[in-house]
Amino acid sequence: MSRKPFIAGNWKMNKTAAEAVETVKGLAAEVADIKNVDIAVFPTFLSVLAAKEAAAGSNVNVGVQGVHFAASGAYTGEVSVDMLKEHGITHAIVGHSERRQYFGETNETVNKRTLAALDAGITPFTCIGETLEERESGNMEKVLESQLREGLAGLTADQMEKTILAYEPVWAIGTGVTASPQQAQDAHAFIRQTLTDMFGTDTAEKVIIQYGGSVKAGNVAELIGQKDIDGALVGGASLKVEDFSALLKNASAVC
Ligand code: 13P
């Protein structure tokens, strides 16, 4: 089963709209020839429209860092699927570990947000991953399994195939410590096996599972060379045109 790799940049709370536009334009020019990797960046809500306009006609998709499950109402600080659809937004990160850690997101809210995105035709990039403490206490698989079973509860097989998963071990995010290719592959294989149990082999084989956590130009090729790693969700190394374009080119060269 060949899955087209998807590499995306999560810009987190970085870049003004002007900076986002400049980066998108520079990136689009650098990666215009890359056809074998899908590409996206996720600016803040305030920058996303300007960035999307700057990316028009290029192979750089522009998405958002979150989506709420309610259609509208008293949810201060949140954005609904209709508001995203109005502007043609088609990609959204859901349940990043920073949202879980600082903003109280749980497997249940991640599940509701994932379903809301799918129902609206928006591709969710649903994030999972264990903390260092969970890994060191031997609970990695247990944590990943409950994030998958609870976070993806109620999805049809068809919806699962439209969902992109990002495995981001919390201990590797922003730390410079990358999971070794073997550690990452082991976790991805476990995730795919769990998807097989939940949705069947055909579906599990189609799901794109990104790795995230200190991915850089220098390690991306080895990571995505692993059998079950289908791309990357990149933080720090996606912020500068020269870093992210080098990363994308290195990835494209081995796909
Ligand atoms: P870093 O690449 O900065 O470790 O961040 C990873 C991440 O959280 C992407 O969502």
Per-residue pLDDT of the chain in tens (255 residues, 90 and over written 9)? 589 999 999 999 999 999 999 999 999 999 999 999 999 999 999 999 999 999 999 999 999 999 999 999 999 999 999 999 999 999 999 999 999 999 999 999 999 999 999 999 999 999 999 999 999 999 999 999 999 999 999 999 999 999 999 999 999 999 988 899 999 999 999 999 999 999 999 999 999 999 999 999 999 999 999 999 999 999 999 999 999 999 999 999 999
Distance of CA 31 from the midpoint of ligand 1 (Å): 21
- CA 178/CA 199 separation, integer angstroms: 29
Say if residues 167 and 209 touch (Cβ distance below 8 Å). yes
* Ligand 1 pocket residue status of 147, Cβ below 6 Å: no
- C-alpha dist (Å) from residue 255 to 46, 82, 123, 209: 34, 36, 22, 15
Residue 247 lies in a domain: yes
Task: Answer yes or no: is 78 within a domain.
Answer: yes
What atom of ligand 1 comes closest to residue 233's alpha carbon? 9
215 CA: nearest ligand 1 atom: 2
Asked, for residue 1, whether it belongs to a domain, the answer is no
b (16+ CB within 10 A) / e for 105-114: bebebbbbbb
Residue 159 lies in a domain: yes
CATH code of the domain in which 104 resides:
3.20.20.70
Residues composing the chain: 255
Confidence (pLDDT) at 2: 82
Ligand 1 neighbourhood includes 168 CB (under 6 angstroms): yes
Rounded Cα distance between 111 and 94, Å, is 9
- In short, whether 48's Cβ falls inside 6 Å of ligand 1 is no
Sole residue written with tokens 């998963």 = 165
* Cβ count near 52 (within 10 Å): 23
pTM assigned to the model: 0.98
| Angle value at C-alpha 80, between 76 and 83, nearest 5 degrees | 115
Mutate to test the pocket of ligand 1, among 101, 215, 240, 243 (most ligand atoms within 8 A of CB): 215
- Ligand 1 and 173: CB distance under 6 A: yes
pLDDT the model gives residue 176: 87
Amino acid at 69: F
**Count of domains observed in the chain:** 1
Closest CA to 163 of 222, 117, 220, 105: 117
Displacement of CA 232 from its chain's centroid (Å): 7
CA of 210 to the centre of ligand 1 (A): 11
CA–CA dist 114, 68 (Å, integer): 9
What are the beta bridge partners of residue 7?
A: 39, 232
Q: What is the pLDDT of residue 161?
A: 98
- Identify whether the C-beta of residue 91 lies closer than 8 Å to the C-beta of residue 43: no
Side by side, the strands of the sheet bearing 38-42 are: 60-62, 38-42, 6-10, 231-234, 209-212, 164-167, 123-128, 91-94
CB 5 within 8 A of CB 36: yes
State whether residue 165 is helix, strand or coil: strand
Task: From 33, 35, 28, select the one nearest 9 (Cα to Cα).
Answer: 28
Q: Which amino acid is at 61?
A: N
Q: What pLDDT score was predicted for residue 178?
A: 87
Q: Is residue 25 assigned to a domain?
A: yes
Contact call for residues 212 and 166 (beta carbons, < 8 A): yes
- Does the Cβ of 169 fall within 6 Å of ligand 1? no
Structural domain that includes position 54: 6-254
